[in-house]
Structure 1
Amino acid sequence: MIKAKWYNSLRVQIVLLLTLALFPLAAVAIYQTNRVESESARNAELALLALTRSAAKEEELFIQRALGVARFFGTVVSDFMDDPVACSRDLERFIANNSNYSFMGVLPPSGVMTCSSAGGEFDATSGPYFEELMKTQQRMIVANRRGPLSQESIFNISEPFQVDGKFAGFISISIPHRGMPKASENLEELGLIELLTFNSNDEILTARNNLEKAQLEMPADRTVGNLRILSGLAFEGQNRNGERRTYTVVPIQGSGATVLGVWKTDESPIGSISSFVQPAVFPILMWVASMAVAMLSIYTLVLRHITHLRRNMDEFAESRSIQTSTYRGAMPNELQSLARNFDRMTDDIVREEAELEDMVREKNVLIKEVHHRVKNNLQLISSIMNMKIRAAQQEETKSVLMRLQDRVLSLASIHRDLYQSRHGGMANVGALVTDIVENSVEVAAASDSSVKIDTDIDPVLLYPDQAVPLALLVAEGMTNSLKYIGSSDAEKPFILVSLKQNGAECVLTIRNSIGIAADVESTGLGTKLINAFSVQLGGKISLEEEETTFTLRLHFMIEEFVPDGRDF
């Protein structure tokens, strides 16, 4: 049985065709899914940014209030500059009544503070930001782990003020970190880890938890300055401990400060939506469902019926057994028609083969009968000739009749083998040649019984077109060998007959000894007959005469039976 190629399978081709048909739908589904995912991610970012703004509202209020206080005091500070003692007393009273602030003072361009909530005189020229403040004359918010006056961790707001339209210094307000609000439990449940604020100089101002731990939650691949570029956005990255985090960046309007929210990625809205919505999930599920329905439909409606029909065809081809479908009612109409046509075809084939077998059997009987009758007629002719031989008075007449009788008997032997043959009209010329040699020796035995006969004959099968001329050629060859056989005084006369087959080639050899023999008149008829029979065989004959032997050798090819045109 020829092994079928796997890609020619109906299942494979249906899967490929359905996949090709579903590809545009899958592309649209992926596009829509990506679009939904992008919109969902953007909505999640906006929601997360809103949560961050809400969480940073208290920091924003602290800073905005401090800025408001600084701006207000900047408008009236000119009334207090002439009396530093009263100014310091009023500022000290203000700080005492507002626990959210730890220090407030007026920083003139000279750097010597005479009006402050701490009282006394304080030289700020040695401060790390003094020169930058005086140079830029712009608002500045900085952090200090140990304030020079309050001696605690603070962040300081310096707001410039003017007197008579000219720069007159800064109003400095310090806000202690201890007063900053803590993260609410609701935000922590949503995944908030840390809430940081940083200034325009990339310094961390505040942290909801611990400033040292807050440094570890910063993005590992971004600086604080780069984060200000992403204001109003959300992104994912790794912190400095290598943990995955979601970051949100929200600016505090009007202050120059920025809020950074740090969220757990697996609990943030972005992470949960990204892990839940996958673009390929819907197309794959659609493809799997379509393939399952298609395969079930194909198997139920087509494949199981075709498999049953194929099994019936195989059994019919191998053993001519006919199996009728028992569930034909479940077949589609087209397959029922195919099954009925197959059943009708098998009935016709079986009936026609039976008729052909009867015809072949009848023909074989007739052919055998013909060969049998021809053989009987030839034997009758041989018997008549035998009567004539006994009645003949002349030896020459007897010799001629005996040679004719040998030819007739050779033909009778061929027809006998043909009607007894079990090889489809082919005759075993090996056995036939053996019979001819034995018959020829029996005829010659009456005159000379000292002839030694050696045979080496293969069982060669030939059609009658070649078997008849070969048998007649062997008979003529034996007649000539027995006619001209002779030997020296020291040797016994012999005849060697050989018929060998090598594939489609056959070689017939008849060799006899020669020597001192009786003077026998030659008519040349035997040689002419031998040449004529070799032509009928389509072979090549050669005659070799040596000092003590004479050899007849025939080469011919076995031919297939070619019927006449009228036989068709």
Structure 2
Amino acid sequence: MKRSALGLTQKLGWRLGFLMAATLLPLGIIAYTQTFNLKQEAQARTEAALTGATLRAASAELDAIRRAQGLVAGLAPAMPRLVEDVPGCISALNSAADFVREASIVAFVPASGLMVCSSSGATYDYSREPLFQAERGKLEPSFVVVPRGPVSGTTVLGVLHPVISSDGRYLGYVSVWMPQNEMDGVEKIFNLPGGSQDPLPVSLWTFDASGGVLTASEGRDRIDSRLPLNRNLADLATPGSKLFRDMSMGGEMLTYSVVPVEEGRLFVMGSWNQSSQSTLRDFGISPTFFPLMMWVVGLIVAVWASELLVLRHIRTLNRSIRRFAAGDRHRQEIDMRGAPVELREMAEAYLSMTDSITQDEAKLEDSIHQKEVLLREVHHRVKNNLQLIASIMNMQMRQSRTPEAKFLLKGLQDRVMSLATIHRGLYQTSGLVDVRADELLADIVRQIMKFGGGTSRTLEVEQDYDDIRLPPDQAVPLSLLLTEAMTNALKYVGRPDAHINPMIRVRLKRIKGDQAVLEVLNTVGDQKSRPPEVMLTSTGLGSQLLVAFSQQIGGTLQQQEEEDHYRLSVTFSPKPLDVADTAEDGDEETDNPTGQEG
């Protein structure tokens, strides 16, 4: 049996692997979901921890700014009354400056720009300062950073609040100014979640809604290198805390946290140098890694187990089955060591079955051989008996005195010799399920021409056969039909012309489809030239036999006589060998082809 090409998806190993993958997939999904949730929870905790740490780190700066905001907010309503008494105003502001220790000066700048009331008692005309021009007239509190204060001479942060009279007029603004060096921070240590205190270099700064840096733990002149490269501070001045990673202006990968102190006004931001043991170490591992690894390992173990316990033993059994199906009858033990009990029992049953089949085949071959020997002996004896009968008939012909009797005996002898030739061919081919028709028909023609061709006429015989194989139940009637056709051809063959020799042509050819045609053609001459015994002994028996034999082979008989030749043809379909083996019920009809009793 030819092995069909099987696709990969039809193999047992692939199907088991697919089922294992489908079985483990829900576990992988559950593990992934749990890991993802844990990662989200850890990230939320980390954000909360860094947000709190940022607020704690900036608590001093934020406290100073809030105290300054509270101070200017409290002084603003009292300033319309205090400005009427400059000494009293200076004294009040000097006392108020004690509430903000980081402040270098607390001052009221009127709408004219001439400062005469301050905690230090100094006076200064701000009317031409760009800062004053920008802040004059604003009705909302604000923050201002001055790189070099006109009074302190250093970078200062100003907290400003407008002063409005009782009738709604803008009078100026009261301000608290804090030098930057009073708010510089140092490296801070925070107790982050994770069980250890990690000293992390932290940079902190505050900024307003416009993105301007107000204070910085490292000083404003050094904070630029710590700012995020791809984020604008103004874009981060939105509600809600934020945590992200970005490259800094100085080329470091930092973690940034942004916390709004006053929505829309004041924000604090910190940059964190994340170490390999920090709380954010899980950022480098995808949450799908461990579930996927678990799924892959489980799949590998499942496939390996199926290979170890099932597949390799099935392949061993399959190879043995295929060898046996290909005709290998050598008994080979099947190595099923380590196989489950079910597979071992299957292998034992298969070996028992092959032993039984091998024994049955051996018995069948012996039986067939004996039948072939007997069949050869039958054909051999029948052939000898027919030849003996033909010899007796030949002796009878020699003793016959009339031409008619000799001619009748000669025709009967030809038929007997034809049967003997058939049985000789069957004897030589016994053991085969078919007979080569070309060899059989050529032998019959040679036999007939040997005994019936005569020596007084120069007769030409042409033969042309295709290699056609027939079952015995078609070969026998076809041979008898050829014998009758050759007998008739020899009876009526003649010279169509004085210069043309008589000729008989025998052909067996394949034609369209699965059909074949047997054709016997002989030239004819003048009826006066025929032997007288032919005219006297023509009884029509040959024609009846031709019709009967053509029916036995399932053929169509056609006879055509023209001026110079006579043609006889039989068209039939050679039987398939498996069909011919069952067609054994026609023996009675073969024994009595004419259908006549007695």
**TM-score for both structures, normalised by structure 1:** 0.86
Aligned AA (1:407): R
1:563 aligns with 2:582: yes
2:501 equivalent among 492, 495, 499:
492
1:248 aligns with 2:257: yes
Partner of 2:517: 507
TM-superposed CA distance for 1:307, in Å, is 1.4
- 8 A Cα contact 2:372 2:430, kept in partner: no
1:164-243 matches, cutoff 5 A: 170-184=173-187, 186=189, 192=201, 194-199=203-208, 202-211=211-220, 214-215=223-224, 217-218=226-227, 223-237=232-246
- Whole-angstrom CA distance in 2 between matches of 1:189 and 1:294: 44
1:272-283 matches, cutoff 5 A: 272-276=281-285, 278-283=286-291
- 8 A Cα contact 1:64 1:255, kept in partner: no
TM-superposed CA distance for 1:169, in Å, is 6.3
- 8 A Cα contact 2:188 2:202, kept in partner: no
Partner of 1:46: 48
- Whole-angstrom CA distance in 2 between matches of 1:65 and 1:425: 119
TM-superposed CA distance for 1:345, in Å, is 0.8
1:549 aligns with 2:565: yes
- Whole-angstrom CA distance in 2 between matches of 1:313 and 1:39: 59
- 8 A Cα contact 1:200 1:256, kept in partner: yes
TM-superposed CA distance for 1:469, in Å, is 2.1
2:4 equivalent among 2, 5, 8:
2
Residues 389 and 141 of structure 1, relative CA distance in 2, 3 Å threshold? same
1:540 aligns with 2:553: no
Residues 512 and 305 of structure 1, relative CA distance in 2, 3 Å threshold? same
SS, match of residue 330 in structure 2: coil
1:452-493, CA deviations, whole angstroms, 9 ceiling, x for partnerless residues? 333333454322322222222222222222222222333333
SS, match of residue 309 in structure 2: helix
1:169-195, CA deviations, whole angstroms, 9 ceiling, x for partnerless residues? 654332222332233165898665632
Which segment drifts farther, 488-497 or 100-109?
Answer: 100-109
1:393 aligns with 2:401: yes
Residues 511 and 111 of structure 1, relative CA distance in 2, 3 Å threshold? closer
Aligned AA (1:178): N
Residues 182 and 524 of structure 1, relative CA distance in 2, 3 Å threshold? same
1:257 equivalent among 266, 270, 275:
266
- 8 A Cα contact 2:239 2:264, kept in partner: no
- Whole-angstrom CA distance in 2 between matches of 1:436 and 1:171: 142
Aligned AA (2:149): G
2:295 equivalent among 287, 290, 306:
287
- Whole-angstrom CA distance in 2 between matches of 1:500 and 1:472: 18
TM-superposed CA distance for 1:412, in Å, is 1.2
SS, match of residue 211 in structure 1: coil
TM-superposed CA distance for 1:515, in Å, is 2.2
- 8 A Cα contact 1:144 1:154, kept in partner: yes
Partner of 1:155: 157
- Whole-angstrom CA distance in 2 between matches of 1:289 and 1:324: 36
Aligned AA (2:272): W
Partner of 1:466: 474
SS, match of residue 182 in structure 1: coil
SS, match of residue 401 in structure 2: coil
TM-superposed CA distance for 1:290, in Å, is 1.2
TM-superposed CA distance for 1:114, in Å, is 1.8
Aligned residues between the structures: 565
TM-superposed CA distance for 1:305, in Å, is 1.1
1:399-453, CA deviations, whole angstroms, 9 ceiling, x for partnerless residues? 1111111101111111111111156243333333333323333334556243233
Partner of 2:35: 33
1:204-231, CA deviations, whole angstroms, 9 ceiling, x for partnerless residues? 2122335366456545666545434235
- Whole-angstrom CA distance in 2 between matches of 1:495 and 1:164: 149
Aligned AA (1:174): W
Residues 118 and 513 of structure 1, relative CA distance in 2, 3 Å threshold? same
Which segment drifts farther, 182-191 or 338-347?
Answer: 182-191
Aligned AA (2:20): L
- 8 A Cα contact 1:190 1:267, kept in partner: no
2:540 equivalent among 514, 520, 524:
524
Which segment drifts farther, 520-529 or 252-261?
Answer: 252-261
Which segment drifts farther, 490-499 or 240-249?
Answer: 240-249
TM-superposed CA distance for 1:25, in Å, is 2.0
- 8 A Cα contact 1:192 1:261, kept in partner: no
Aligned AA (1:542): Q
* RMSD between superposed Cα atoms in Å: 3.9
- Whole-angstrom CA distance in 2 between matches of 1:441 and 1:106: 152
2:392 equivalent among 378, 381, 384:
384
TM-superposed CA distance for 1:61, in Å, is 3.7
TM-superposed CA distance for 1:267, in Å, is 6.6
- 8 A Cα contact 1:108 1:169, kept in partner: yes
Residues 164 and 230 of structure 1, relative CA distance in 2, 3 Å threshold? closer
- 8 A Cα contact 1:510 1:552, kept in partner: yes
- Percent of pairs identical after alignment? 34
**TM-score for both structures, normalised by structure 2:** 0.82
- 8 A Cα contact 1:246 1:268, kept in partner: no
- 8 A Cα contact 1:191 1:267, kept in partner: no
- 8 A Cα contact 1:230 1:249, kept in partner: no
